[in-house]
C-alpha cells in the first residue's frame, strides 16, 4: 500500500508567524505519527521561512516512521543529510527565492552535479529520490546518476484533474510505468488532496509514497489533524 508522508512545513510557518513555540512542531510530528502518518517530510530552506536547521535536528530525535528531508543539494543541505541520516533525501531543483517547488530536474543539464551529490548522499546510507516532471526523456537518465527513486511532480495533474481526469493522469501513468521498467522506486507529491488522491493512487502502478503538506494542513483546519490524516489514509486504501 502507498505510504502517506505528512509534510509539516506549514506547521512551522504558523509557528514562525508569531515566534515562540506554538504550535510545538516536535509535538505535532509525534502526533502525526500517532494519528497514522507513515512518514514525516520536511523542507529546510536556506531562509528558514518555515523549517529551521534547529527543527531538523530536533525532529530527527523523535521521528519513528520514515524521515524524508527534501531540498536543493547545496553544501548546507548535504551537511544536514550527512549528520542526520534520514531514510530518504529528496532532491529538488529549487533556487533559494522560489515560493514552492515548481519544476522537476533537468537531469541532462545537471548530470555531473547530480551524479556527484547522489554518490555523496548514498555514501551516508541514505536513499535518494529526485523530484521529476513526468518526462520520459529526463527519467531515463536518472539511473545513470545513481538515484534510487523519483518523486513525480503532480501540480499539472492536480490542475487538470477537474477538467479531464483521464487526460490528467495519462502522462503520469506512462512515466510511472517507464520508471518501474528502469528499476526506480516511485513517489509523488504537490497539490495532491482529498479530491484527486484516490484516483491518482489507483491509476499509478507501484506507487511507494505520497508526500502531502499544504492541502492536508488546510483540511485539518476544518476536520482536525487526526481525522484529516485518517481521511487521507483512506484515499490510499480505496
Point out the residues that are catalytic: 43, 70, 190
> Is 207:235 a contact under the CB 8 Å cutoff?
no
**Alpha-carbon span 92 to 94, nearest angstrom:** 6
Q: Which candidate, 76, 88, 78, places its Cα nearest to that of 48?
A: 76
Tally helices (H) and strands (E) across the chain. Answer: 12, 8
**Alpha-carbon span 136 to 159, nearest angstrom:** 20
Helices 9-18, 25-34: inter-axial angle, 10-degree rounding: 150
H/E element, 171: helix 165-181
Cis link prior to 23 (omega < 30° from 0)?
A: yes
Phi and psi for 149 in degrees, rounded to 5? -140, 170
Neighbours of 18 (CB within 10 A): 9
> Beta strands of 18-167 (E only): which ranges?
39-42, 66-71, 88-91, 127-132, 149-153
Is 96 exposed, middle or buried (CB count within 10 Å of its CB: 0-12, 13-18, 19+)? exposed
Amino acid at each position: 500500500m502507498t505510504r502517506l508522508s505528512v509534510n509539516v512545513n506549514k506547521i512551522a510557518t504558523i509557528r514562525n508567524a508569531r515566534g515562540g513555540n506554538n504550535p510545538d512542531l516536535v509535538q505535532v510530528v509525534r502526533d502525526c505519527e500517532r494519528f497514522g502518518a507513515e512518514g514525516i517530510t520536511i523542507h529546510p530552506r536556506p531562509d528558514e521561512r518555515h523549517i529551521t536547521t534547529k527543527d531538523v535536528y530536533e525532529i530527527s530525535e523523535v521521528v519513528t516512521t520514515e524521515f524524508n528531508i527534501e531540498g536543493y543539494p547545496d553544501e548546507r543541505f548535504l551537511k544536514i543529510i550527512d549528520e542526520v541520516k534520514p531514510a530518504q533525501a529528496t532532491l529538488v531543483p529549487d533556487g533559494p527565492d522560489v515560493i514552492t517547488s515548481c519544476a522537476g530536474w533537468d537531469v541532462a543539464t545537471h548530470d555531473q552535479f547530480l551524479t556527484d551529490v547522489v554518490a555523496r548522499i548514498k555514501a551516508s546510507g541514505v536513499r535518494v529520490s529526485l523530484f521529476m516532471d513526468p518526462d520520459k526523456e529526463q527519467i531515463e537518465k536518472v539511473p545513470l546518476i545513481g538515484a534510487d527513486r523519483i518523486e513525480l511532480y503532480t501540480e499539472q495533474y492536480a490542475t487538470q484533474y477537474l477538467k479531464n481526469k483521464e487526460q490528467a493522469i495519462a502522462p503520469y501513468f506512462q512515466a510511472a510505468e517507464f520508471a518501474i521498467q528502469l528499476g526506480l522506486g516511485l513517489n509523488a507529491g504537490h497539490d495532491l488532496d482529498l479530491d484527486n488522491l484516490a484516483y491518482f493512487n489507483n491509476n499509478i502502478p507501484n506507487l511507494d509514497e505520497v508526500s502531502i503538506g499544504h492541502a492536508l494542513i488546510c483540511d485539518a483546519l476544518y476536520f482536525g489533524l487526526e481525522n484529516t490524516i485518517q481521511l487521507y489514509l483512506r484515499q490510499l486504501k480505496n
